[in-house]
Structure 1
Amino acid sequence: MSRSRALQYYIAARLLLAPLMLWTITTVVFLLLRATPGDPVDVILGPRAPESAKTVLREQLGLQLPLWQQYFDYMGDLFRLDLGTSLTSRGQTVWTIIQQYFPATVELSLCSMVIALILGIGVGVLSASRPGTALDAGGRLFGIITYAVPLFWLGLLLQLVFSVQLKWFPLGTRFPASLSPPEGLRLGGYIVSTGLYTVDSLLSGNLGAFFTSLHHLALPSLTLGILLSGIFERIVRVNLRQTLRADYVEAARARGIPERRIMFAHALKNALIPVITILGLTLAAMLGGAILTEVTFSWAGLGSRLYEAINLRDYPTVQGIVVFFAAIVVLSSIAIDILNAYVDPRIRY
């Protein structure tokens, strides 16, 4: 079987397995929410509300139905791409909540990923190019510390030092409450807005809002980026060290090619191939880290909204956001596998 045909079969198999993985995640989340203590009716009306009022509200929300019937009703709605309506947001649909809060999570995640790639690849290259030196030991120590340090602890520490003590960065906001967020690009009578404050400020030509957005974004993205950078540092250091011992690198040295050119034009190019693979796995860690980062920094993103919905026992919101995150991870993983297969011709399926 040719490589292209094998790759087509692999892609088809992954696409067929994607709905199964999403169904499994949805089922587990549905059952776990019902198994945890707490009643959404008590959260909405309060524990001292009359039992008759609780019964009426429970019937309106469909919570009096048997568990199996609630499950099949929810799966039927999900099959129609209906994530339901929030129990605690005055009838707001889950899709509306995602549309409102997800841009903040995207902005935080993208900035964090850029920081993680730059820092992780940079430290990995320095560590691998100086084996047995203090730089190598420092790179290893960096990878261990960034893997072991709890995100919420680092976030609180950075806020204490740079926001409370030094007052270099704002505390707990995405944009100053006294200013209006950037609107985006005006096209005739319409406004094209991405929801990303940094992008919208550039589209509207408001450089002041752009730097203000970056100022508020810096500390949360730096926290998440530092902890994610350790993943890339270890991958780059190990693979670059192996690549530098390869035969074609030794042949390049024998031809008198400068070491710097060998490093960046030959060795690093091949050592970065596994980074593409790890990007898909890092995405899941990044979304999980974004939730902790948003809660720690009071960042108005989808992860913070998910945390709030869990505390309020808002079943549809929790289920909808988790399914949305799961779909992103599954589809991104498939896309990364396909990209990696085309980048690295050595892969066989």
Structure 2
Amino acid sequence: MSLSTGIGSFPGDDDRAYAEAVRVVLGELPDLPHVPELPGRGAIATMTGRALAVVDGVTADLQPAGWRLTDTSGIDHRRARSLLAQDLDQVEEQAQEHRGAFKTQVAGPWTLAATVEKPRGDKVLSDHGARRELAQALAEGVRGHVADLRRRLPGVDRLVVQVDEPALAAVLDGKVPTASGFGRHRTVDLPEASAALEWVLAAITESGAEPWVHSCAPRSRWSLVRGAGAVGLSADLAVLDAGDLDAFAAAVEDGGTIALGLVPTSEADLTDAVLVERVLRWLDMLGLDPAEVGERLVVTPTCGLAGASAVWARRALELSREAALRLG
């Protein structure tokens, strides 16, 4: 049987909306629910803010230009950590009876390096030592995050940690703008790019969880991602091209998981049958038998569900579940 889950983000801008998001996720995605993320609550709840709440031994503050590393935690960094703990309290309360699998998400080392500034400005990406330190701090923070979730959710026997790397392609292609906006940061060598991912993915594996990597950007170097230790690959089906097929097919053949973003974030007149047909055509290109893929195939909405209406967000999860059931 195929499974269904969400990418992570969900609409809403307050604590009441978060509690409702947890309830919806647990109800619509019983086989693989996830920790919802509501970036509509501000910078402390965005992908970067959430990851900085997880990192260990690194402090930051929110500046007009965005998040910046600092000598001591600023008030916004402390608020980000408090909000994450508060959200996990809500997940713990509602998911006490949940058994089986569960998923959480965290921004990856290269997306953090491309979005967080050094103490004196410009992105962490511009400094070899700084990006190494941030990646290692993230790896250590993830260990603690996994331990915390295991304590809170004792009935979970399969914990997935999805590492979000939407900026990986831009980092490797030299497309991340400098602080002035007039230049671009140098490309990162593939061995260094792989090493930073390896630290984070290894920390997840060593903590007894399952490492996935998600990206909604084209040219995300899925072979590199697999080589770094990802056992799950997650992407919007629409951004995958012929060059990605080998990595996704190999992931399945090696016993890993592929998660395909199918349901759009904007309202559309779709049925689960239409979605299933798209998946079957794609699997046929890979030479994979749907019946043999089974639970290694996961159906998800596409990226950006935070921008949808609450009604459509629920429907998107429902369609994902219905498509997964039909594929099964």
Query: Shared fold by TM > 0.5?
Result: no
- Hey, which of these two has a bigger chunk of helix by percent? 1
Larger of the two Rg values belongs to structure: 1
Name the structure, 1 or 2, with higher relative contact order (CA <8 Å, separation 6+): 1
- Hey, which of these two has a bigger chunk of strand by percent? 2
Please give the TM-score of this superposition, normalised by the length of structure 1: 0.21
Please give the TM-score of this superposition, normalised by the length of structure 2: 0.22
